[in-house]
Chain A
Amino acid sequence: MKKIGLFIIIIIASVYFIFPFYWVIESMTKDTSQLFLGTFFPESLSQLISNISKTFSYENGIYWMWFLNSLLYSSAGGLIGTFMASLGGFAFSRYKFLGKRVLFILILGFSMVPGVASIIPLFVMFKNVSLLDTYWAIIIPTFSNVFGIYLMTLYWNQVPQDIFDAAKIDGANDVRIFFQIGLPLVFSAFITLFLLGFIGIWNNYFLALIMLRSSNKFPLILGLSNINSLIGLPGQSSLYPVIITGSFFSILPLILIFFAFQKFLTPKIVGSIK
């Protein structure tokens, strides 16, 4: 009896969390007038195909462009950010140097400064150097990865120092040690940080919104929000299937990443319980 009660609670919760996914998928099989009926069931496969082709041919196939832009921004930014974090974390974990403590606390402090405080001055800076509305405006801010450095320091600390010392005795220089011995040892941390960076940039709406003007440079979510802002205008309700189908394909890569790399992405609070 008690077990059934617990089971019912879990099922209700599951339905709540799954329902929006179901709604998106069943809505992809409807045209606008069918959407307006607000039913819970899928309509037709041919409508699904027509919605998909409508989405990818919207404005001469700009959706593809957005998709590729998102891929570019997320991969480039994720790689740069993770590489910066690996370098910084390596330095903090492996070396003793003057001012290390102060620098580490400063970096941790800066990771607490919210993006909103620096993003408008960054916009003005980029405007002054004509970087607005370029791919660079989205990619180069990832060079600054304060929280990543903190995380990577924790990961580097888990690598036994003996391994590095042995390499040192064999005569390898520090840069080679970092690339050939160090990085492979923190590979799983590198992947975790890369995926988190990838997802973070894929989802970063604010930066793209203020930096980009030309729609051919938009990432996916900015493109979607742009179509969404047209929906209230008269005669634009035929855009609903495009947005819903477009939403599905903007989530799909992330869902695939989550299932493929679940063990890298499960969040942790390090040392929360002693």
Chain B
Amino acid sequence: MNKRISKAWLFLILPLIGIAIFTILPLFYGVYLSFFGQRGPRMWYVGFYNYITVLTDPSFWGGFGLPIFILLVQVPIMLIIAVILSLILDSGRLKYPSLYRTFFFMPYAVPTVVSGLIWGYMFSSALSPFVPLLKAIGINVNFLSSGSLPWVMLNIMTWEWAGYNLVLIYSTLLSIPKEISEQAKIDGANDFQTALYIKVPLLKTTLLILFVFSIIGSLQIFNEPMMLSGITNIPPNFTPSMYVYNQAFSYGSFTYATTSAIILGIIIFIFSFFFLRLSMKQMEENIQ
């Protein structure tokens, strides 16, 4: 027994050193830095001053406007689209469902930087194929004006992630035993009723997990707006991550940026923890 204890550490030592140096150490170092004021290489102790400044900075909280919009508008739209499309693929009424699934899933293979770039171009007044089309029927739009930017983001995020969500929802649907929906049919339910009253309720756990994933993801949006900023004006606090980045690399205040990153990290961690709780039961089974 004693011999076995040491053998486990033989395998754990390298991965644990990696985690200690590149995950745990930066976190503690970050907390340490957050108690200092800084200008260039000069640093001085300021206690909780940075925390108070971040928490009372309207421009920090302004960055949460986009994630909240994404969460309240984009995520529901995306999940509804994903559920409807997977129900159709699962209905067995169309040929080649896995071909369509591949089509829907393909955007997931595109780096978010590139999808931000491509959609940015397709919406820019210079290159857009849609603008001339709309002009022909008398509509003049500037997709990249500040008012429509959230909708541009909504579109990009939906394009990127609907397929990923769909694949997970569809595979949950496939795991529902066929007898359940057949029994419903015998009881006189039509396909639509079976989908709405039998299948959708069984998606509850999957949808909950996907929703938590989306919260975590939307709080960290960074790449797409950075790409859009090459072709239009994006405010430096368009998202919380952009606020953090610009504090550090546009204004050079690394300790202040670290503080705002810690606060953002805590907010994200709370949502992730919720996910941890969800998967806790399963984890218990796996560590016996």
Contact = CB atoms under 8 A, between A and B. Distances in A.
B29 interface: yes
Contacts of B121: 240, 243-244
A103 B131 CA distance: 56
Contacts of B25: 125
Interface string A5-19: 011011001101110
Contacts of A268: 168, 171
Contacts of B26: 118-119, 121-122, 125
Dominant SS among interface residues on chain A: helix
Interface string B185-207: 00000000000000000100110
Name the interface size band of chain A.
35 or more
A140 B22 contact: yes
A184 B245 CA distance: 42
B181 interface: no
A87 B12 contact: yes
B261 interface: yes
B159 interface: yes
A269 B213 CA distance: 12
A112 B273 contact: yes
Nearest to B6: A97
A18 B106 contact: yes
A58 interface: no
A229 B109 contact: no
A202 interface: yes
Contact of B104 (A6, A17, A149): A17
A248 to B, nearest CB: 9
Interface stretch (B54-62, B66-74, B145-153, B219-227): B219-227
B249 A210 contact: yes
A14 B206 CA distance: 23
A20 B159 contact: yes
A228 B5 contact: no
Nearest to A244: B121
Name the interface size band of chain B.
35 or more
Nearest to B262: A117
Contacts of B94: 3, 6-7, 10
Given A125-B29, A266-B167, A113 B127 contact: no
Given A14-B100, A250-B111, A117 B27 contact: yes
A144 B85 contact: no
Contact of A231 (B15, B106, B130, B231): B231
A205 B4 contact: no
B106 A113 contact: no
Contacts of B110: 251, 254
A190 to B, nearest CB: 15
Given A20-B118, A251-B114, A273-B175, A174 B15 contact: no
B278 to A, nearest CB: 9
Contacts of B80: none
Interface string A23-42: 11001000000011111100
B268 interface: yes
Interface of B: 4-5, 7-12, 14-19, 21-27, 29-30, 33, 81, 84-85, 88-89, 91, 93-94, 100, 102-107, 109-115, 117-119, 121-122, 126-133, 159, 162-164, 167-168, 171-172, 175-176, 202, 205-206, 209, 216, 219-220, 222-223, 226-227, 229-231, 240-241, 244-245, 248-249, 254, 257-258, 261-262, 264-266, 268-269, 272-273, 275-276, 282-283, 286-287
6 closest residue pairs by CB, A with B: A117-B265, A143-B18, A95-B8, A112-B272, A121-B30, A144-B22
Given A3-B93, A221-B113, 10 more contacts: A6-B91, A6-B94, A91-B12, A114-B219, A120-B261, A124-B33, A145-B18, A153-B287, A224-B114, A255-B106
Interface of A: 2-3, 6-7, 9-10, 13-14, 16-18, 20-21, 23-24, 27, 35-40, 84-85, 87-88, 90-92, 94-98, 100-101, 103-105, 107-110, 112-125, 140-141, 143-146, 149, 153-154, 157, 174-175, 178, 199, 202-203, 205-206, 209-210, 221, 224-225, 228-232, 237, 240, 243-244, 247, 250-251, 254-255, 257-258, 262, 266-273
